Amino acid sequence: RRRVYAGLRDAPAMTRDGVRVALTANAGLLVELMRLEESGAEGIGLFRTEFQFMVSDTLPGLKAQIDLYAAALDAAGDRPVVFRTLDLGSDKVVPYTRALREPNPALGWRGLRMGLDRPGLTRYQLRALVRAASGRALNVLFPMITEPREFEQARAMLDIELRHAERHGHTPPASVRVGFMLETPALAFAPGPCLDLADFVSVGANDLMQYFFAADRQNPRVAGRYDPVSAPALGLLRTVREACDRAGKPVNVCGELAGRPLEACVLAALGYRALSMAAGSIGPVKRALGGLDAARLSSWLDEAIARQRPDLRKALLAAGENAGL
Ligand code: PEP
Ligand code: MG
């Protein structure tokens, strides 16, 4: 099986009816970068910068941050790397800050909410990113946005750091692109103002589904109760993709959903043309997409969503070839 995937490695992902889907890898630690080559990833679609903070005993300094980000850019070579700024809080805790006790951490002080309240921390990280990407392409992604104002403030901080680098005589990045994670339902239904400001969008399906279904992704009692391959969830994901297309902004889906073969086929049929996943999922997803008739699955899904079909996943698997699978 490994050999089958290795044979696919250098071929781009393409559905049976000729739809091209870009597959990138999620990463966060140096060790994961070593798998980039063998996975056939077209870049790093999501670099989770908080991992470095979670495995350190103390707050990583500027140099440690610059070194890691530069290593990621080196590993990717000509391929793009999307750096997500710190997404701490909720399930991601660091050992060296006072334990935050919140009754509902997933609904609490996390991601950019913390990043805006602790601008020193965010500015420091943005400084490291700008320095690491000196002379190269810099893609910055801000997590856990609910309101356009939050994205606006985050972008402004990046602008300050770009000017700071210039003033201090550092070669600026060759290009700068800024995106936001779409992972709250509120933003999914009113993404317009953020889309106007953004260069790209990444749908954080793990959190988007958690908040959409009001089911803690960490709680095994409820995490399995809802299914993203269902009429409400797919309707939402289609709406989001349409909004991004209308705004002319490239969008990908990261989150575990994108790395599962059936789900990846469904996302392609809903119109997503870029998916980011664990490196090990790229081979299996590429193979599944190769057997997909995206147009046929797209019309099957449109009808199922319109009819609010219960047990959609089961019906889809039963339809099989008739649904384009
Ligand atoms: C997500 O929410 O889907 C996502 C990719 O981010 P994380 O899993 O790190 O919250
Ligand atoms: Mg998330």
Q: List per-block mean pLDDT (blocks of 10 residues) for the chain, which spans 325 residues.
A: 75 96 95 88 97 92 97 96 93 74 89 95 97 98 97 98 97 98 98 98 97 93 92 98 98 96 98 97 97 98 98 98 97
Give the bridge partners for 90, in sequence order: none
Ligand 1 center–CA 201 separation, angstroms: 13
Residues 319 and 293 sit within 8 Å (Cβ to Cβ): no
Ligand 1 center–CA 104 separation, angstroms: 17
Ligand 1 atom nearest to CA at 26: 5
Ligand 1 interacting residues, C-beta cut-off 6 A: 46, 48, 87, 183, 204-207, 254-255
Position 1 scores a pLDDT of 64
Q: Which of 88, 181, 201, 275 to mutate to test the pocket of ligand 1 (most atoms within 8 A of CB)?
A: 181
Ligand 1 center–CA 163 separation, angstroms: 30
Q: Which of 87, 145, 182, 207 to mutate to test the pocket of ligand 1 (most atoms within 8 A of CB)?
A: 207
Residues 151 and 119 sit within 8 Å (Cβ to Cβ): no
Position 207 scores a pLDDT of 96
Nearest CA to ligand 1 atom 6: 204
Q: What is the pTM of this model?
A: 0.96
Ligand 2 center–CA 12 separation, angstroms: 27
Ligand nearest to the Cα of 51, by number: 1
Q: Calculate Rg over the CA atoms of the chain.
A: 20
Position 103 scores a pLDDT of 87
Q: What is the dihedral of CA 112, 273, 255, 265, to 10 degrees?
A: 160
Ligand nearest to the Cα of 46, by number: 1
Length of the chain: 325
**Residue type for position 210:** Q
Ligand 2 center–CA 253 separation, angstroms: 11
Position 98 scores a pLDDT of 66
Ligand 1 atom nearest to CA at 50: 9
Q: Which of 24, 112, 183 to mutate to test the pocket of ligand 1 (most atoms within 8 A of CB)?
A: 183
Write down the ipTM of this complex. Answer: 0.98
